């Protein structure tokens, strides 16, 4: 035996008295602490109560706080409290919360604080306790006026209360049978039906500070300086004080939990009295800072409707006890390290803990082995009890063998010196298999070593777990997936076979023979030849599987970097329900588990190595669970554009309890709304999930989320109903909470806007059209005036052209010629025709148009005069189709004369021979009459080439004037006259036959008889010789 091993027993003998003095039975219980950093109003908690809506209330020296499991809502002076010191709380059955604030009584209802006046004689005192009787009466304990009672709205002194001898009331307890127990500074009273009687305690009138009653009817009395008294229903009185286990005789608070245990709060911690023990006084335990209590100074206690125990401290806030199913053992409790990497039982039933950096120690603290005792390295990864009872440990520097608590040295060639051994396994042949970072090593019973190195065809690197199957094959958890070693070859399962990640930490065969593998990215189960992946949570830590264990009840445990998960293997594969998830709110002191550090002891308790110590789970200490139910859900807020909004003026009223607007009508500009809701789960607030939808916008429920608000933006007009439901740890969804509201359409979609728009558009359109019509009328009138002015000018010019000086001069010369010849008949005829023509032209100048009959008569007068003047020079013909009604056809006056004159002067006279001028009136296109003026003169081309200055100018101007008058008439929409020509006529051989002008006139009816004064024979009329 080495010197180091021989030295250990002597040291153990010297240290034994010191080790026995350590609190070996101590263990770290989990308490969740809430302070001002978490939102609590003040750290000195004086009282607690839970209202009918599920909210937990705290009374502090700095106001009251309402807690929903995650957030605090605080009430102080600015919220209506007359005094910030809240010493008493009572949640009445009707939902009213009563607060004793200093010397005032405050009623909280419908989100409003109301100060209820107390009688004048209570002035200067404090309200220290409140209770509600079975008849609904409110009992008020004060320190100056005894006990008051409020029935209805009347507050008065309690009937039969001895105010002369008992003014300082400190505690109240209302029993279901109508009795009222009153704790005084100088004794205990029982009141019923107006009568009081004193209840004896110990040796005299003790100062009572707390009262509690069990479900069996036992009365528990905490005193100031005299300990704890129990007045049992069987008539016995039992006492607890510092001599028989009480931490302090000043008992400040009492709570009887659902198990019937009495929790007594003192200045030095908590005592738990369990009468189920066989002893007369039961079993009494203590919770102090040494057992995990964050602060010893307990002032009050309370058990909520979920069964959670709450304790108020005098300066450290509020504490919630997570229960004792999970407790943690640390170095404070005698362990050699908080980092336990493996738990190995020995043949005697003791547990040996492999630690990170501190060697191996026995769990009871009676033995510890380090490098000083021959351990190769103080970082120990794994352990194993061999079939012969020897203990083997894998360290960062090889393997180690222990016999009867002492290290047995191994030859360096047989100890894997220099290798990090991560896993150990002994097969039925007694061979020791070691998983290392560099592969697999087999140590034969006689000590020989055989290596199976990592690499191609090898078992893989970093073998962290070795488990055998029924065929004797070894399944290995490695960095290269799951490897199956049959003694000679390796089969690999990786991501191609469905494994979620090739980094595998742990392996386990369940009761059905299925292999489970924990990886760095999820839990996997081998089904057939393919792995199925199970996601334990949405976060990375929940799927970083550090360890796997199978409990005696068949449930699978998975240790992760986000706590522990527990579920039946079949439910995981079938997806029939989420696994149980245990976190710090359930009693864990750390969420991170150590690799493969798990063991189930002989009592069915699960031991798990974590980053904060050795966690122990005791199934026998599971809390009493009632019927699974959904958490209490509240829709407690509505915001607009994420801001707190005053909804007055936009709704019919505000809800009395939740303050939500009733009959909300949102204007379209406020169509961004946020709903705030919360489900009260005081024990597991982090496990609450919500589903919601907006009927009218969402087609279905949205996926579950832990967010406690929902926002909707750009809502169109219409009616909407917001629905939300919640589920807690049990996965049961609550009944949906609903809120209905209406988004009003924008003003441009209102009926009155449509009507107004139609009226405005109609009015504007009418105004614009009328304005444009007026403008058109003005422009048309202006155009008409201009055209008529132009028409008058042209008519004047036409008159001037027809009555030009040359024609008048020549006519007068002709008359003179006949007179000189003494041809009175011819002179008279010429003068008569000339006078008629002048009169007709002057009459025609008074109107724009004349009938075609009158125009032909005027033209005939002109032809008669010209024929008399040039008697032998030309002849003329006027031909009228009998089907043409000359009286119904309108033509501008003096329109035909310029063309006839042009035929005579520029067509016939230049030929030097007699010619013929033909005027033909006949049918044209439908609804039109065609008037043609033709001659057999020299033609247009020769006439234009030989035209010079002189009297020919007025003829050309007359033609242009005529065309201008026709154009003006068309633009005035008075007549559509079309003039074609003058155009030159040619014979078959191309010779010039004369000139022709065609004038098309519109006809009203197109037919009829010719006017009077014109001959209407079917044969052409020929004048002249």
Specify whether 475 is located in the same domain as 616. Answer: yes
Which of 726, 749, 772 is a domain's end point?
749
pLDDT number for residue 18: 38
pLDDT number for residue 15: 40
Residue with tokens 């041809």: 823
- Whether residue 152 is contained in a domain is answered as no
- Whether residue 94 is contained in a domain is answered as no
Name the residue among 479, 472, 443 with its Cα closest to residue 458.
479
CATH number at residue 903: 3.30.565.10
The three-class DSSP label of residue 137 is coil
pLDDT number for residue 844: 67
Residue with tokens 């859900």: 633
pLDDT number for residue 699: 92
Whether the CB-CB separation of 1022 and 1015 falls below 8 Å is answered with no
**What is the C-alpha separation between 305 and 142, in angstroms, rounded?**
28
pLDDT number for residue 1022: 39
CA dist 809 → 813, 826, 834, 859, 951 (Å): 6, 17, 12, 19, 12
**DSSP string of 805-872?**
HHHHHHHHHHHHHHHHTT-HHHHHHHHHHHHHHHHHHHHHTTSSEEEHHHHHHHHHHHHHHHHHHTTT
Q: Which residues lie closer than 8 Å to 916 by C-beta, 6 or more apart?
A: 874, 875, 876, 877, 908, 935, 936
Which of 571, 596, 621 is a domain's end point?
621
Specify whether 974 is located in the same domain as 857. Answer: yes
Specify whether 887 is located in the same domain as 961. Answer: yes
- Determine whether 668 is exposed, middle or buried from the number of CB atoms within 10 Å of its CB (0-12, 13-18, 19+): middle
Q: In what order do the strands lie in the sheet with 406-408?
A: 380-385, 391-395, 398-403, 406-408
Specify whether 386 is located in the same domain as 534. Answer: yes
CA 239 to chain centre: 60
The 3-state secondary structure of 595-654, one letter per residue = EEEEEECCCCCEEEEECCEEEEECHHHCCCCCCCCCCEEEEEEEEECCEECCCCCCCCEE
Going by their DSSP bridges, the two strands 661-662 and 653-654 should be labelled as antiparallel
Specify whether 682 is located in the same domain as 572. Answer: no
The three-class DSSP label of residue 956 is helix
**What is the C-alpha separation between 514 and 498, in angstroms, rounded?**
15
Domain of 491?
331-621
- Whether residue 997 is contained in a domain is answered as yes
Specify whether 555 is located in the same domain as 596. Answer: yes
What is the DSSP code (8-state) at residue 908?
I
pLDDT number for residue 19: 38
- Whether residue 199 is contained in a domain is answered as no
Q: Which residues pair with 127 in a beta bridge?
A: 142
- Tens digits of residue pLDDT in 1005-1021: 544 333 333 333 333 33
Under-50 pLDDT residues of the chain: 1-25, 949-952, 1006-1025
The three-class DSSP label of residue 399 is strand
- Whether residue 763 is contained in a domain is answered as no
Element (DSSP H or E) covering residue 945: helix 940-945
pTM of the model: 0.72
The three-class DSSP label of residue 550 is strand
**What is the C-alpha separation between 417 and 398, in angstroms, rounded?**
4
Specify whether 551 is located in the same domain as 691. Answer: no
Whether the CB-CB separation of 250 and 226 falls below 8 Å is answered with no
- Whether residue 267 is contained in a domain is answered as no
Whether the CB-CB separation of 111 and 659 falls below 8 Å is answered with yes
What is the number of structural domains in the chain?
A: 3
What is the DSSP code (8-state) at residue 705?
B
Check the CA dihedral 980-984-987-993 and report its sign: positive
Give all strands (DSSP E) within 833-977, no chain letters. Answer: 849-851, 874-880, 890-892, 915-923, 928-935
**What is the C-alpha separation between 613 and 620, in angstroms, rounded?**
21
pLDDT number for residue 862: 81
Structure tokens at 463: 């073998």
The three-class DSSP label of residue 928 is strand
Structure tokens at 401: 């063998």
pLDDT number for residue 798: 58
Structure tokens at 891: 């033509």
**What is the C-alpha separation between 227 and 166, in angstroms, rounded?**
21
pLDDT number for residue 343: 97
Name the residue among 447, 449, 444 with its Cα closest to residue 430.
444
CATH number at residue 708: 2.60.40.10
Name the residue among 447, 444, 490, 467 with its Cα closest to residue 382.
467
Specify whether 834 is located in the same domain as 728. Answer: no
Specify whether 384 is located in the same domain as 445. Answer: yes
Element (DSSP H or E) covering residue 116: strand 112-116
- Whether residue 84 is contained in a domain is answered as no
Whether the CB-CB separation of 442 and 463 falls below 8 Å is answered with no
- In degrees to the nearest 10, what's the CA dihedral of 608, 610, 612, 615? -10
- Tens digits of residue pLDDT in 470-500: 999 999 999 999 999 998 899 999 999 999 9
pLDDT number for residue 71: 94
CATH number at residue 387: 2.130.10.10
Specify whether 807 is located in the same domain as 856. Answer: yes
For the chain, how many helices (H) and strands (E)?
9, 74
- Whether residue 166 is contained in a domain is answered as no
Specify whether 603 is located in the same domain as 679. Answer: no
- Determine whether 185 is exposed, middle or buried from the number of CB atoms within 10 Å of its CB (0-12, 13-18, 19+): middle
Which of 565, 590, 621 is a domain's end point?
621
Specify whether 921 is located in the same domain as 811. Answer: yes
């Amino acid at each position: 035996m080495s010197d180091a091993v021989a030295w250990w027993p002597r040291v153990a003998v010297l240290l034994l008295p010191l080790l026995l003095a350590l609190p070996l039975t101590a263990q770290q219980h989990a308490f969740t602490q809430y302070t001002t950093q978490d939102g609590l109003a003040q750290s000195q908690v004086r009282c607690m109560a839970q209202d009918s809506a599920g909210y937990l209330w705290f009374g502090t020296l700095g106001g009251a706080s309402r807690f929903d499991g995650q957030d605090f809502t605080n009430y102080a002076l600015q919220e209506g409290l007359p005094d910030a010191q809240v010493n008493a709380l009572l949640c009445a059955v009707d939902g009213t919360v009563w607060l004793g604030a200093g010397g005032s009584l405050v009623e909280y209802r419908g989100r409003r604080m109301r100060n209820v006046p107390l009688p004048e004689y209570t002035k200067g005192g404090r309200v220290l306790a409140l209770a509600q009787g079975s008849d609904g009466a409110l009992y008020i304990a004060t320190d100056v006026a005894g006990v008051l009672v409020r029935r209805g709205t009347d507050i008065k002194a309690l009937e039969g209360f001895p105010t002369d001898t008992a003014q300082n009331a400190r505690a109240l307890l209302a029993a279901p049978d109508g009795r009222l127990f009153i704790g005084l500074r100088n004794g205990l009273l029982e009141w019923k039906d107006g009568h009081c009687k004193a209840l004896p305690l110990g040796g005299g009138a003790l100062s009572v500070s707390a009262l509690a009653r069990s479900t069996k009817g036992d009365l528990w009395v905490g005193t100031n300086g005299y300990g704890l008294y129990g007045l049992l229903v069987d008539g016995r009185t039992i006492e607890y004080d510092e001599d028989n286990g009480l931490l302090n005789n000043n008992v400040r608070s009492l709570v009887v939990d659902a198990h019937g245990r009495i929790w007594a709060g003192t200045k030095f911690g908590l005592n738990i009295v369990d009468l189920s023990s066989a002893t007369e006084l039961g079993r009494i335990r203590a919770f102090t800072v040494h057992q995990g209590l964050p602060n010893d100074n307990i002032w009050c206690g309370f058990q909520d409707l979920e069964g959670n125990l709450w304790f108020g401290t005098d300066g450290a806030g509020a504490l919630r006890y997570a229960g004792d199913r999970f407790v943690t053992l640390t170095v404070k409790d005698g362990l050699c390290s908080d980092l336990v990497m493996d738990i190995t039982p020995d043949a005697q039933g003791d547990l040996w803990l492999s630690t990170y950096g501190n060697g191996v120690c026995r769990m009871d603290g009676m033995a510890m082995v380090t490098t000083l005792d021959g351990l190769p390295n103080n970082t120990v990864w794994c352990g194993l009890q061999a079939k012969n009872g020897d203990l083997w440990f894998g360290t960062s520097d090889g393997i180690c063998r222990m016999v009867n608590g002492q290290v047995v040295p191994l030859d360096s060639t047989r100890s894997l010196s220099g290798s990090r051994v991560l896993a150990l396994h002994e097969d039925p042949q007694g061979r020791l298999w070691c998983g290392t970072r560099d592969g697999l090593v087999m140590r034969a019973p006689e000590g020989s070593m055989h290596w199976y190195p990592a690499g191609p065809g090898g078992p893989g690197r970093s073998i962290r777990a070795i488990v055998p199957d029924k065929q004797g094959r070894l399944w290995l958890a490695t960095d290269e997936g799951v490897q199956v070693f049959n003694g000679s070859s390796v089969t690999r399962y990786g991501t191609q076979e469905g494994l979620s990640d090739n980094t595998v930490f742990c392996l386990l065969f369940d009761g059905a023979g299925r292999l489970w593998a924990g990886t760095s990215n999820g839990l996997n189960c081998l089904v057939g030849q393919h792995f199925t992946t199970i996601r334990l949570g949405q976060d990375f830590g929940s799927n970083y599987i550090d360890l796997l264990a199978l409990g005696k009840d068949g449930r699978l445990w998975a240790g992760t970097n986000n706590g522990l998960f527990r579920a039946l293997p079949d439910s995981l594969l079938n997806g029939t329900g989420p696994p149980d998830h245990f976190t710090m709110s359930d009693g864990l002191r750390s969420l991170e588990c150590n690799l493969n550090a798990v063991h189930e002891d002989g009592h069915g308790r699960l031991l798990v190595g974590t980053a904060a110590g050795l966690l122990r789970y005791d199934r026998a200490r599971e809390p009493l669970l009632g019927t699974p139910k959904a958490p209490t859900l509240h829709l407690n807020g509505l915001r607009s554009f994420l801001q707190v909004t005053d909804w007055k003026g936009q709704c019919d009223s505000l809800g009395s309890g939740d303050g939500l607007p009733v009959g909300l009508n949102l204007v379209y500009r406020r169509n961004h709304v946020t709903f705030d809701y919360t489900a009260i789960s005081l024990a597991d607030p982090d496990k609450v999930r919500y589903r919601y939808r907006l009927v009218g916008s969402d087609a279905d429920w949205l996926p579950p989320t832990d967010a406690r608000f929902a926002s909707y933006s750009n809502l169109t007009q219409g009616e909407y109903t917001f629905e939300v439901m919640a589920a807690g740890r049990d996965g049961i969804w609550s009944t949906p909470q609903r809120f209905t509201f209406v988004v009003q359409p924008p003003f441009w979609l209102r009926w009155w806007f449509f009507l107004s728009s139609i009226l405005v558009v109609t009015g504007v359109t009418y105004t614009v059209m009328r304005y444009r019509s007026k403008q058109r009328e003005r422009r048309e009138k202006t155009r008409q005036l201009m055209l008529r002015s132009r028409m008058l000018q042209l008519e004047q010019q036409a008159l001037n052209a027809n009555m030009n000086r040359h024609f008048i001069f020549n006519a007068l010369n002709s008359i003179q010629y006949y007179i000189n010849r003494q041809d009175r008949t011819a002179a008279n005829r010429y003068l008569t025709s000339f006078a008629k023509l002048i009169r007709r032209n002057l009459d025609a100048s008074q109107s724009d148009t004349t009938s075609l009959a009158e125009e032909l008569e005027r033209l005939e007068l002109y032809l008669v005069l010209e024929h008399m003047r040039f008697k032998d020079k030309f002849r003329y013909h006027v031909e009228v189709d009998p089907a043409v009604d000359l009286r119904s056809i309108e033509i501008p006056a003096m329109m035909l004369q310029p063309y006839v004159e042009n035929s005579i002067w520029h067509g016939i006279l230049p030929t030097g021979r007699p010619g013929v001028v033909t005027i033909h009136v006949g049918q044209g296109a439908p609804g039109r009459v065609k008037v043609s003026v033709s001659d057999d003169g020299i033609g247009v081309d020769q006439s234009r080439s030989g035209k010079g200055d002189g009297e020919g100018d007025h003829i050309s101007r007359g033609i242009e004037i005529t065309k201008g008058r026709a154009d003006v008439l068309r633009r005035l929409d008075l007549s559509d006259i079309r003039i074609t020509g003058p155009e030159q006529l040619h014979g078959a051989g191309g010779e010039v036959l004369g000139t022709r002008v065609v004038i098309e006139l519109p006809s009203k009816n197109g037919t009829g008889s010719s006017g009077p004064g014109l001959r209407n024979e079917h044969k052409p009329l020929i004048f002249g010789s």
